[in-house]
Amino acid sequence: MRAPVIPASLLRRLLSRLSGREERSGGGSRSSFLLSDEELTRIGTEEDPLRDYEEAAARSLEALRTEQGGDTERAVRLYEELVASGFVESRPYERLADIYERRRHYQEALRVTESYLRLARSGRMPRGAQRSANRKLAAFEARAERYRTLSGRGGEPYSR
């Protein structure tokens, strides 16, 4: 069963009210508690990092289960779709890079890892995902450096 779709305009209005941007009786503001004005204006647009998030999260889970079930080729295709779409969670990037590393396809592992690093540094991720990405940056940077070394690229970033 699918959850009902809430129109973006209604969601923006509700979040504005909750964040204290609309006048409320009793005064006070909670604007730092929820979303910034920029985040509010992106809701429901092409720039919304959570656009189609539920479907992407379901594909991520499907990819993980597929990989665990032994169908690595199908899992790779699903993970690649998630990476290409700029999915905001790190798991598909980590799993796909791990698969490529096991196969000794270090340049592909580097490409996937650097894709996540670009996403994490873009400033376009939702707050929770950004906090998670910030905590993982050092590990992803170390991973990218390892892949550069293993692929013979030294410190040179991957470019396709």
Q: Is the pLDDT of residue 6 over 50?
A: yes
Query: How high is the pLDDT of residue 80?
Result: 98
Residue 9 tokens read as 């305009």
pTM of the model: 0.69
**If pLDDT is split at 50, 70 and 90, which confidence band does 113 have?**
very high
Residues 110-139, mean pLDDT to the nearest whole number: 92
Integer Cα distance of 48 and 86 in angstroms:
11
pLDDT per position as a tens digit, 17-38: 555 554 444 444 444 446 567 6
Q: What percent of the chain has pLDDT over 90?
A: 52
- Nearest alpha carbon to residue 151 among 76, 97, 92: 97
Q: Is the pLDDT of residue 65 over 90?
A: yes
- Nearest alpha carbon to residue 73 among 103, 106, 107, 115: 103
